[in-house]
Chains A and B, each alone.
Chain A
Amino acid sequence: MKIFDSSKEYQPVIGFEIHVQLATKSKMFSPAPNNPDEVRPNTNIDEIVTGQPGTLPVANREAIRLAAMVGLALNCQIDEWSKFDRKHYFYPDLPKGYQISQYDQPISKNGHLDIALSVIARSASDEAISSKGEIASAALAMTSKTKIKRIGITRAHLEEDAGKNIHPEGLSYSLVDYNRAGCPLLEIVTEPDLESGEECRVFLQELRNIIRYLGASDCDMEKGTMRCEPNISVRKPGETSLPKYKVEVKNINSFKFAEAAINYEIARQTEMLKEGKTPKQVTMGWDEKSSQTVEQRSKEEANDYRYFPEPDLPVLQFTKEYLDKLRAEMPELPAQKRARFLEEFNLPAADVENLINWKELANYFEQVVSEIDEWLEQEKGLDRNQLIKLVANWCLQDFSAALNKEFKNPLDSQVTAENFAELIKLIAQAKISGSAAKTVFKVMYEKGGEPLSIVDDLGLHQVSDELAIEEAIDKVIDQNQKAVTDFKAGEQKSFGFLVGQTMKELKGKGNPQIINEILKRKLS
């Protein structure tokens, strides 16, 4: 996070318009199924979705509840009265010739989302500032710490999605698929409080986490259940008001691209401003291949949508009782979980972040930890922090990798939290070696089963019995006098050789630490 000196620098001004497809069973105003994974066109439709004459919308209660939950989680004001409005325009993917949306009385407004950013602060020296107002990084003393930045949420409202137009190449016609038409969308608009690509990425991630934690949507940018359009402008040095233009960027389908596109735009616009030009108020599209934003065919004049209140739907009343009930049902949100994990588990921030970003894994992790904690009540003398770190490592590395390959949820895997915890215990007690653990885990993941039986079946018990190891070492020393001599003469490699031979003697099951200790002792 950069702290700008607005009198001297070009300061980016960025806001978002985000559309989230809510995970309800049926569509926003009809009982037709809401399933973003349906590939057969025009399947999730009914007479209401295709705008047959005489049909009427019926509001989806669950969509309204999810919208209100998101509003509350974003610290928004939810007024008692809200309503739907008709927004008119003609396009083949809009069946009724109007979209049912919300205009002047959205469900939520005036909220905020706090994000944590690492701050780069300038040293006191002004000579470090070059003549163009840029920060000459080499001359600065940088300090890094985390700061909380508050991003304003202007509003969040409900509306129905449009269908999809498909333009087969080279043909004289286009096709329309209404599977997506009528799906419930939550449109979230932010204040233009963001100032860099990185901030935007962090913001989007936190927003996505909140929405996922509420079960409101899977927020998958690639699938299209979360779409975001940044509006970017840059303030000239000395400007205090909002710039008179803004550039909208479309076709962003990952957070990585969002960051790249925004940074690209900031650079492009800053260049133009430095040349004394004002960037055009246009819509740009992000081109992945060239990593650039490209001007899109601009729409003609701004549409007059002729909004008026939807006469087919009654107004919505959010009573105090209803909102209190939602607040009581609010699950632990990412910010709270993050704080709790940092405190309870003493894990490095990066590990916590990775767990927070994957709610199901975080929950699984906690289940394993609680198994471990139960065990620690009997087995005193072990380091809890060390064990937790072990759990985190295994969750974030081997387990994550396996799950991601199959796009699986931890709870859908064959590895129960109990068995996972068992495995960790075996490793902590040095009953199996690190590589044996990997083998056991692989079997657990592919076939399930308890770690102890797998270890027995595969004969992977690590030999930690000192007497047995000493016996093996004695034998190896006996049979490899030359190596012993070499080592005593300074040849470090020979030590490794002797360790290897000992391991061989123990059929690969020797506890490496103990082997090392005893061998060192014997050779000293």
Chain B
Amino acid sequence: MRYEFLELTELRKLLDEKKVSSVELTKYFLARIKALDKNLNSFLTVTQEEAFKQAAAADDFIASPGENPLLCGIPYAAKDLFCSKGVRTTAASKILDNYIPPYDSTVIAKLKEQKAVLVGKTNMDQFAHGSSGETSGYGPSCNPWDTTRMPGGSSSGSTSAVAAGLVSFALATETGGSIRFPASVSGITGWKPTYGRVSRYGVIAMGSSLDSPGVMALSAKDAAHLAGVMAGRDEKDSTTGHHPVPGYAGQLNPDIKGLKIGIPKEYFIDGMEEGVKQKVMEAIEVLKGLGAELMDVSLPNTKYGSLVYAIICPSEVSSNLAKFDGIRYGHVTSAAKDLLQVYTKSRAEGFGDEAKRRILTGTYVLSAGYYDAYYKKAQKVRRLIINEFEEIFKKVDVLMCPSNPGVAQKLGHAADDPLFGYIVDQLHIPSSLAGLPAMAFPCGFSRPVDGDTPSMDGLPVGIQVIGPQFGEQKVFNVGYAYQQATDWHKKHPSLE
């Protein structure tokens, strides 16, 4: 019996019917990780012992009478940005190489409550600064479809782990594309929640006004299930909304007749690969065939998105990284002669280049004399972007557009192309700035233009759906409707 690539409800059934135990399931996935991850580098830490303990406890619970929570006994992984009590958490940076959090992030605590089984912490761009996974202090992760290529970032390890069937779902985060982009280039479904839908407590902060903890899953239906568990007001995070959490999965409705889908012209950028454009258009046609009404729309403020982000994100990053100073935790230099050197050397030794770049930029932007011209102004333009989306959602229910102008690029490409992140992120940043919910999911394959790839069909193409704030249900419905009518999400790479 093969357990990889099964939907959560299927796994739940197997466990409830005692056809497999959580310990067996955990053993199975850990064996897969052991066999396959050396080529993928998805995991920074595998928590074998702890996982078996959790699995045994889950089995005890399943044996007791009563209903079992959906995720009880199901193995999962978490991006190494989520603090896990007693389990090393690095944010893929050497500055936290030895950091063991004394507490659980709220999302992991919620999953613990469900008795899900954490098998390990996944690789990522260092402190989430990147879109290819290559700024990790521990080497990049690889795309399971073609291990010479990136799985996308910053949630690179969570993506490759789910795409390769090493776990059924993995926690991830998005600040400016870090869920949607990797999901698109690796052929899986990634949910980026509304900002404030899921608690950020315990998620190592990058851009405080942008960070959205979400999930990499095998389908929209799974994502909807996970949203039901992860979402909700957290008293420890004052930026979470008080909105009730509907049973997203229970309310999934594939009937999208009359649903108005806006197609924003600014997102079909020049230089998009033809193969990718084709697949995206085909997917939109499928939805039209299901009864959705397509509307061409325009979002002129889209072009300011990347510029606004380039100011706000590094500013918040430079502030959030100030706590890494070698005094209380993390790397501390052995070469300091005075207090100032404790700071300068520890940080210079521990941080990667991209982190340093963002700290420098952010510090400059916030300095006296520049705050008004840059940060304050950027926040004002952000408000214009938010307003523009608000207006458009009065006319349409959701927006749909490409999630990547091409397919997965070769590892090393990002280093050669200084505009790589900029190009890739511009499709995600505006909706991120506006705190909107979104989901990326596979809609076909296309051959790469920069070289060869093992599969004849090429590499995964992704499409994204964006909804209004707290409009998760609509987003899930579109994805679910599409995945009921197609089976791109059921295609998986052959790894053995």
Chain A residues in the interface with B (C-beta under 8 A): 47, 50-59, 86, 88, 90, 92, 95-98, 176, 304, 306-308, 311-314
Contact = CB atoms under 8 A, between A and B. Distances in A.
A88 B368 contact: no
B371 A90 contact: no
B325 interface: yes
A423 to B, nearest CB: 53
Nearest to B327: A92
B236 A47 contact: no
B368 A306 contact: yes
A231 B103 CA distance: 44
Contact of A52 (B91, B102, B209, B235): B102
Contact of B96 (A47, A53, A55): A53
Given A52-B103, A54-B83, A176 B327 contact: yes
Q: Which 8 A-B pairs have the closest CB atoms?
A: A97-B322, A311-B208, A306-B366, A311-B209, A53-B204, A54-B202, A54-B83, A304-B368
A58 B105 contact: no
Given A52-B101, A53-B323, A95-B328, 11 more contacts: A50-B328, A53-B324, A55-B103, A56-B236, A92-B327, A95-B323, A96-B322, A306-B367, A306-B371, A308-B366, A311-B239
Contacts of B315: 308
A53 B96 CA distance: 10
A86 to B, nearest CB: 6
A56 B237 contact: yes
B319 A86 contact: yes
A311 B312 CA distance: 11
B363 interface: yes
20 contacts: A52-B329, A53-B323, A54-B203, A55-B103, A55-B202, A56-B236, A56-B237, A56-B239, A59-B238, A86-B319, A90-B325, A96-B322, A97-B323, A98-B319, A304-B368, A306-B371, A307-B366, A308-B366, A312-B237, A312-B238
B385 to A, nearest CB: 17
B392 to A, nearest CB: 25
B103 A308 contact: no
Given A95-B328, A97-B323, A54 B205 contact: yes
Interface-central residue, A57, A97, A98, by most chain B CB under 10 Å: A97
A59 B238 CA distance: 8
Interface residues of B, number: 41
B319 A52 contact: no
B375 interface: yes
B375 A58 contact: no
Interface string B306-326: 000000000110010011110
A18 to B, nearest CB: 26
A143 to B, nearest CB: 52
A92 B323 CA distance: 10
Contacts of B325: 90, 97
B3 interface: no
Contacts of A52: 83, 101-103, 328-329
B104 to A, nearest CB: 10
B99 interface: yes
Contacts of A50: 328
Contacts of A308: 315, 319, 366, 371, 375
Contacts of A57: 238
Find the residue from B201, B203, B322 having the highest chain A CB count within 10 A: B322
A97 B203 CA distance: 18
Interface string B95-112: 010010111010000000
B351 to A, nearest CB: 13
Contacts of B367: 304, 306
A54 B238 contact: no
A190 B354 CA distance: 45
B368 A54 contact: no
B200 interface: yes
Contacts of A307: 366, 371
Interface in B298-349: 315-316, 319, 322-325, 327-329, 339, 343
B45 to A, nearest CB: 16
A307 B365 CA distance: 11
Contacts of B322: 88, 90, 96-98
Given A52-B101, A90-B322, A58 B235 contact: yes
